[in-house]
Every structure is written in structure tokens, then in C-alpha cells.
Amino acid sequence: MANTRITAAELPTDLAGTDLLIDVRAPKGRAENGEIAGAIILPKPLVSQIFSGAFSSVPKDARIVVFCGSVNGSGPVVETLTGLGFTNVADVDGGFAALKERGIA
């Protein structure tokens, strides 16, 4: 998978093959709509810092799927990760709502 937008239907419901599932929604969005078990919650402004520090051992070709409440939230995170050298990053079209509809949430 290249840096791209995917649909929730393209993800297996058990997320097989996904190394990191990253939730960049605001706390209010998670409180109101719920969370996905196993998703890593990262504040958007800290993504670069975290992947350059605590997550620096994540392989550059790891499959990373990012979601938010909208593409405006996850799209810039995908760009940040790509800028850090990650090559297998995607965001989910429709974000959390699409994942929930798919039965992943």
C-alpha cells in the first residue's frame, strides 16, 4: 500500500496486516463516539515528535492506517508520516464513522 486514502471496506474487520492503527481525533470526538480497541491515540500536533522519539523504532515500511472524524484531520497526519520517511501509510475515507459502520469500531 502506498500513501493513499482507503475505504473501510478495504480493511479486514480484524485489521489483519495493519501494523499501527492511529486515532487522531480530539478527545471530545472519542468521548462522544467511542474508540477502537487497539488503536493508538495520538494528538495530531505531536505525531512528528512521537514518531521521531518514542516510536522511532517503527519500521519505515510498517502498514500504518490513520483515522479521524474527517480527512482534514487524518490527511495532514499521513503527509507528516510520509515526510518522516514512512512508505506504507493510508487514511480512511469517512474516518471513524466508516470504520464503525464496517464493524471495526
**Helix, strand or coil for residue 94?**
coil
CATH superfamily of 4-102: Rhodanese-like domain (3.40.250.10)
79 SS3 class: helix
Please give the Cα distance from 78 to 1 (Å, whole number): 13
pLDDT in tens, 42-98: 999 999 999 999 999 999 999 999 999 865 789 899 999 999 999 999 999 999 999
Confirm if 65 and 8 have CB atoms less than 8 A apart: no
**What pLDDT, on a 0 to 100 scale, did the predictor assign at position 72?**
74
Joined grid coordinates for residue 26: 480530539
Q: Is the pLDDT of residue 19 over 90?
A: yes
Domain boundaries, the chain: 4-102
Q: Which residues contact 101 (CB under 8 A, 6 or more apart)?
A: 8, 94
The predicted pLDDT at position 59 comes to 97
